[in-house]
Amino acid sequence: MDELSRRKALLSGGALSALGALGFTAPAHASRTWTWSAQGSVAGSGAGVDPRWMWDEEADPVVEGLFERGEVSRVNEILSAWTKNGQPLPDGLPADLRDFIEHARQVPAWTDFDKLGQAYDFNERRGLYLGVLYGMASGMMSTVIPKEARAVYHSYGGANMKDRIAKTAKLGYDIGTRNAYSPDGEMAVTCVKTRLTHAGVRHLLPQSPHWNAAAPEDIPISQADIMVTWHSLATTVRQKLTEWEVPVAPEDSAAYLHSWQVTGHMLGVSDEYIPASWEEANNQAAQVLTPILAPTPEGVNLADILLDLGAPIDGALLSRPVLGAFTRYTLGDQIADWLSIPREPVWSPLLETFWRPFIIARETGLNFPGSQETYFLFDEFLRKAVLIYLNDGKPINIEIPTTNRPS
Ligand code: HEM
């Protein structure tokens, strides 16, 4: 059996996630093992299987079946009408997919809706910082997470980053809505569709000669990889708020964590890998995120595209230097250098000088010289970012990709 057939057999048998349990642990060249204890997870205990060898044992075989039966496009079309968490599924879906979605759309038993309500309040009050951080810290950081950068670049969406970001921003937007996981909200739908998309990527990328040549793995998007990205979002944002001395009440902090814990579960991560506290999250991130950050040709290219996203609006005259300076300011010199982002002569010193006082002024209601101008600059910048992310006003629908990046 050749390599691709072996992978396909594993996928169609739904056996991917059992690999770790069967002792197919890290390959000999792997330099680290999973040492984070499940005692610090929302589950409180676990089987101790290395999540680098866990994928999505529920979604993967179902999506594999859709590809085998040539049903992906038809299913995407039908699912475009499914937008609300509590909405009945449209008719015409294959039975196995319907069963999967009915199960996957349920929030975990440990969901605390009071905490989710608090998280919404927090999102509203801290929207400016969260928006800047999701874009400038998490978004740009994704380009120096090597496995993610390669997967995104060589998958279909890698050729149209604006569309991809609009879809990803939908998740970032939905998680901050009041009714995110309530029947009239959209976040459960977004997560389930993302799970299906990820399963599609697991089917498609192994068929890409470009991805195979670049990636040191057989199957992308393991549960460990999802947690790495989870940390680039939730944990990084939480850490930056502390670093920037943005006051965050304990109940806000716990609520914000909870919204991301539920989201981790809804994206198909086992509860035994989802941290129960920020302390545990910081520990896990120190093990799985910080050490793996590195430049790749794919990531450098994606970062370059991200910096140019404002070009249709301002010819990149203002947006590119501001985005670049923000990236250097939030992620530091090393990452900015990796991504060939120059230090900006105007914007970098401006941020270094005014961003922290701007936060203090905002938090205390104080005015200081330049605060109005700085506020306007940041406000204007965010307004533009929203314009870009809103996908030119078109409704955003997450779909299972049908091909890899055409190249
Ligand atoms: C697609 C979110 C982890 C690679 C998507 C989409 C969302 C999303 C919302 C749909 C957007 C689209 O179709 O373009 C997330 C979140 C993650 C996560 C919230 C973790 C918390 C990962 C990881 C990888 C990855 C770890 C790779 C190692 C991809 C790829 C696509 C995708 C390749 C499809 C792009 C395409 O072909 O269109 N993800 N993702 N994601 N994600 Fe993730």
Sequence-distant contacts of 73-78: CB under 8 A, at least 24 apart: 73/402, 75/400, 76/399, 76/400, 76/402
Distance 221 CA to ligand 1 centre (A): 8
Q: Which atom of ligand 1 is nearest to the CA of 160?
A: 38
Question: Is 56 a pocket residue for ligand 1 (Cβ < 6 Å)?
Answer: no
- Residue 46 in domain: no
Q: Which residues pair with 41 in a beta bridge?
A: 275
d(CA 18, CA 30): 19
Q: Which atom of ligand 1 is nearest to the CA of 201?
A: 33
Distance 194 CA to ligand 1 centre (A): 7
Cβ–Cβ < 8 Å for 47, 223: no
d(CA 348, CA 343): 6
d(CA 100, CA 65): 12
- What pLDDT, on a 0 to 100 scale, did the predictor assign at position 369? 64
- Residue 172 in domain: yes
Question: Is 167 a pocket residue for ligand 1 (Cβ < 6 Å)?
Answer: yes
Distance 152 CA to ligand 1 centre (A): 7
Distance 198 CA to ligand 1 centre (A): 6
Number of H helices, E strands in the chain: 22, 0
- Residue 20 in domain: no
Cβ–Cβ < 8 Å for 217, 167: no
DSSP 8-class letter at 244: T
Question: Is 74 a pocket residue for ligand 1 (Cβ < 6 Å)?
Answer: no
Give the structural domain span for 252: 1-13+57-399
Cβ–Cβ < 8 Å for 177, 186: yes
Q: Which atom of ligand 1 is nearest to the CA of 168?
A: 9
Distance 187 CA to ligand 1 centre (A): 15
For residue 118, the surrounding DSSP H or E stretch is helix 113-125
What does each of the 407 residues of the chain score in pLDDT, given as a tens digit? 344 444 444 444 344 443 433 333 344 334 456 789 999 999 999 988 999 999 999 999 999 999 999 999 999 999 999 999 999 999 999 999 999 999 999 999 999 999 999 999 998 888 888 888 988 899 999 999 999 999 999 999 888 887 777 777 778 778 888 899 999 999 999 999 999 999 999 999 999 999 999 998 999 999 999 999 999 999 999 999 999 999 999 999 999 999 999 999 999 999 999 999 999 999 999 999 999 999 999 999 999 988 887 777 667 777 789 889 999 999 999 999 999 999 999 999 989 998 888 888 778 766 666 666 666 666 555 555 654 555 565 677 899 999 999 87
Enter the tokens of residue 100: 């999967």
DSSP 8-class letter at 80: T
Residue whose CA lies nearest to ligand 1 atom number 32: 198
Nearest to 15 by CA among 60, 65, 67, 68: 60
- Residue 43 in domain: no
Cβ–Cβ < 8 Å for 401, 197: yes
d(CA 53, CA 1): 21
Distance 209 CA to ligand 1 centre (A): 20
- Residue 404 in domain: no
Distance 19 CA to ligand 1 centre (A): 23
Question: Is 262 a pocket residue for ligand 1 (Cβ < 6 Å)?
Answer: no
Let me know if 6 is exposed, middle or buried by CB neighbors in 10 A (0-12, 13-18, 19+).
Answer: exposed
Count the domains in the chain: 1
- Residue 196 in domain: yes
Question: Is 208 a pocket residue for ligand 1 (Cβ < 6 Å)?
Answer: no
Residue whose CA lies nearest to ligand 1 atom number 14: 164
d(CA 238, CA 289): 14
Task: Provide the terminal-to-terminal Cα distance of the chain, rounded to the nearest Å.
Answer: 28
Cα four-point dihedral sign 359, 365, 369, 375? positive
- Residue 34 in domain: no
ipTM (interface predicted TM): 0.98
* Amino acid, single-letter form, for residue 315: G
d(CA 263, CA 54): 18
Enter the tokens of residue 342: 């120059």
Q: Which atom of ligand 1 is nearest to the CA of 264?
A: 21
Secondary structure (3-state) at 41: strand
Enter the tokens of residue 75: 């299913």
- Residue 37 in domain: no
